Amino acid sequence: MQTGTLLRADARVEDIAEALNSQGYAAIERLAEPTAMDVIAAELRPHFDALTTRQRRNATGRIHSRVLATAPQLQQRMVDPVILGVMDLVLGPNCVRYQLSSIQGIEVYPGARDQGLHRDDDIFRLPHPHPVFEVNVMWAVTDFTAENGATRVVPNSHRWPSGKTPEPGSEHLAAMPKGSVLIWLGSTWHGACANHTERPRIGVYAGYSLGWLRQEEMMYLALPPESVQPMPENVQRLIGYELKGTSTLGWLDGRDPRDVLGFETTEEPTSHTSK
């Protein structure tokens, strides 16, 4: 299995988007400081520790979007300017705005086996290839290595028709130090490696999708208004508490939900809307 190339943290957003469109994935080395990942690990730790044995299926623990309410550093990663710049270019042409579709903290424990390769956008039940509906991000909260469960991706598989599956050994390994990020299209085949070490590896997954699609997780129950109110405005908007720019898609009682809920609005939502 070949190790994928890491782009530099100062890579142009246009080059990252080009890599996504051409090979179906891009990995950026140390886009965030390792210390920021240490803070996120601490934010997530109580939630991981609260998982029951039954919830740790296949030697993997998963926590979901609710954690965002008590994780300020994680909130900042959701609106990282490089990530949103890529979304502007890749998702922006097909929607007025895009949104967070789901969030997961993922802890792969020692003994976990290879995850089956899969496509995330198969949930939409549309034949491949098709326009980009979803772009996914994995932040390396700890180092991702060949031994501890790094994500593997199949280059160019986003172009494949439905029914075509990867050949053994065709994957690229997204080995990357903590603070790095892997971005892939929803139609790109991928899956985590086995963890052969004695320590867990931790990543944070965030799915971004077109704003007119149903979110994968029911965000308004996972993150109701009272938990979203203290968050930064750009995070609130990305979760979906927004109407401006869409005219009628997403209104509440015929009005902007921000007005109905009493959310403060300080600026136009320019960071994640198409022009």
pTM across the whole model:
0.94
- Statement: residue 199 has pLDDT above 60: yes
Mean pLDDT of 120-135: 95
Burial of 138 (0-12, 13-18, 19+ CB in 10 A): buried
Mean pLDDT of 15-26: 97
Mean pLDDT of 217-234: 96
pLDDT of residue 275: 33
Mean pLDDT of 206-215: 96
| Topology classification of domain 2-261 | Jelly Rolls (2.60.120)
pLDDT of residue 254: 86
Of 212, 10, 203, 218, which Cα lies nearest the Cα of 112? 203
Q: Which amino acid is at 72?
A: P
Of 203, 209, 261, 210, which Cα lies nearest the Cα of 236? 261
Model confidence over 234-261: pLDDT tens digits? Answer: 999 999 998 866 567 888 888 889 888 9
